[in-house]
Amino acid sequence: MKLVSHRRIEPMMIANRPSLRRTFRRSQVAVLLPLLLMSAVVAAVEPDHRAVEYAQVGTKSLLLDVYLPKSTRQTNSNTGDQLNRSNAAPLVIWIHGGAWRSGSRDNVPVTRWLQHGAAIASVDYRLSPEAPFPAQIHDIKAAIRFLRHHATEYGLDADQFVIAGASAGGHLAALTGVSNGVAELEGSVGQHLNTSSDVQAIVSFYGASNLQSILSQSTAHGLSVRVPALQLLLEGQPQDKPALARLASPVAHVDPKDPPLWLIHGDADPQMPFEQSRELEAVYQKVGLPVRLDIVVGGKHGGEGFFTDTQLDQLAQQVRGQLE
């Protein structure tokens, strides 16, 4: 299946009309209502397996939650088994955002994908105030190895793993997806080091792709967020730690063996430069890999237009089609 390279999504255009901008400023409900509704939907979905320990680092337990689609949770009337293992589900490994320094696995805005027959594993990882890069990638790869090792137990298709994330999670998802076999990033976390940490597709919502160019592309607001976040992540700034910044940049690791990639980014993002997604798209195109960039016209850093049912349905169909 050949990916269409670009698609423009225009849910934000109405907010850009001069006559309506004042209304949106005066009534925060107009902005917050879609987000509150989305949060209510997410909160209504409970994981089938909560707080599963996928690894330990020192005395710290690294945890994930597993959500199963209805097709996998059907009870086998002959065995009483709560899993329908004859219908193994593709797995979406969700990586939360939070500037690498905050956030948790409880924030899962893509539970809509359960309706498309996908399982979801939402992963906690060590945050930058606790452990600098590359601890985050080491943890995520350990989670993938754990899930693949236990795929049968959870009713998962070990050959259909998709990694996805938003903001810092989008960066970590992309970096994980393109760095299979990079020793410095594989790490030694967890008990299943001989199991592959490979994934078969990547979905990055407004994530970073090049830490060596991100500051020069940033707005003043973006710098106010990014500089302290990078200081924690890298224990310094990219210009002072170029080798580490390059290691942390997805664009530096793309090769012909990498999986298909979906990028979703607002073209008015004040926090994560839109050029970051353009850069990763260009590297993918240069190598000849399948890539698609969905541009949310007028889109900021998350919010309306990124996690609508329509958008998530289309993404699920595209990714599933690419995997089959």
- Token readout for 273 is 């430069």
Range 133-147 average pLDDT: 99
Kindly state whether residue 37 falls inside one of the protein's structural domains: yes
What is the four-CA torsion angle of 111, 115, 121, 123, rounded to 10 degrees? -10
Kindly state whether residue 39 falls inside one of the protein's structural domains: yes
What CATH number should be reported for the domain holding residue 149? Answer: 3.40.50.1820
Give the max Cα distance, the chain.
63
Domain range for residue 180?
6-73+85-323
**pLDDT at site 72:** 83
Q: Among candidates 210, 276, 281, 312, which has minimal Cα distance to 4?
A: 281
**pLDDT at site 324:** 78
**Other Cβ atoms closer than 10 A to 242:** 12
Given the DSSP bridges, would you call strands 60-67 and 49-57 parallel, antiparallel or unpaired? antiparallel
User: In the beta sheet, which residues pair with residue 262?
Assistant: 203, 292
Computed over its alpha carbons, how large is the radius of gyration of the chain? Answer: 19
Kindly state whether residue 80 falls inside one of the protein's structural domains: no
Q: What's the burial of 149, exposed, middle or buried (CB within 10 Å: 0-12/13-18/19+)?
A: middle
**pLDDT at site 5:** 62
What confidence tier does 3 reach under pLDDT thresholds 50, 70, 90? low
Kindly state whether residue 154 falls inside one of the protein's structural domains: yes
Are 320 and 116 in contact by the 8 Å Cβ rule? The answer is yes
- Tokens 């907010």 correspond to what residue? 15
Q: What is the mean pLDDT of the chain?
A: 87
Kindly state whether residue 218 falls inside one of the protein's structural domains: yes
- Which of the 8 DSSP states describes residue 250? G
CA pair distance 200, 311, nearest whole angstrom? 20
Range 173-189 average pLDDT: 97
Give tens-digit pLDDT for 65-112: 999 999 887 644 455 556 666 689 999 999 999 999 999 999 999 999
- Tokens 């940049």 correspond to what residue? 249
DSSP of 75-140 = --TTT--SS-GGGPEEEEEEE--STTTS--TT--TTGGGGGGT-EEEEE----TTTS-TTHHHHHH
**pLDDT at site 71:** 84
- Tokens 């086998």 correspond to what residue? 76
Kindly state whether residue 246 falls inside one of the protein's structural domains: yes
Give tens-digit pLDDT for 33-63: 343 334 434 446 999 999 999 999 999 999 9
Are 177 and 202 in contact by the 8 Å Cβ rule? The answer is yes
Kindly state whether residue 55 falls inside one of the protein's structural domains: yes
CA pair distance 281, 6, nearest whole angstrom? 10
> Who has greater pLDDT, 79 or 28?
79
What confidence tier does 304 reach under pLDDT thresholds 50, 70, 90? confident
Q: At what angle do helices 18-26 and 28-43 cross, to 10 degrees?
A: 60
**pLDDT at site 9:** 58
Are 127 and 102 in contact by the 8 Å Cβ rule? The answer is yes
Q: Among candidates 138, 204, 126, which has minimal Cα distance to 170?
A: 204
User: In the beta sheet, which residues pair with residue 202?
Assistant: 163, 261
Are 167 and 301 in contact by the 8 Å Cβ rule? The answer is yes
- Structural domain total, the chain: 1
DSSP of 284-309 = HHHHT--EEEEEETT--SSSTTTS-H
Are 122 and 105 in contact by the 8 Å Cβ rule? The answer is yes
Q: How many helices (H) and strands (E) does the chain have?
A: 12, 9
User: What's this model's pTM, rounded to 2 decimal places?
Assistant: 0.86
Give tens-digit pLDDT for 238-278: 999 999 999 999 999 999 999 999 999 999 999 999 999 99
Kindly state whether residue 1 falls inside one of the protein's structural domains: no
Q: Is the pLDDT of residue 31 over 50?
A: no
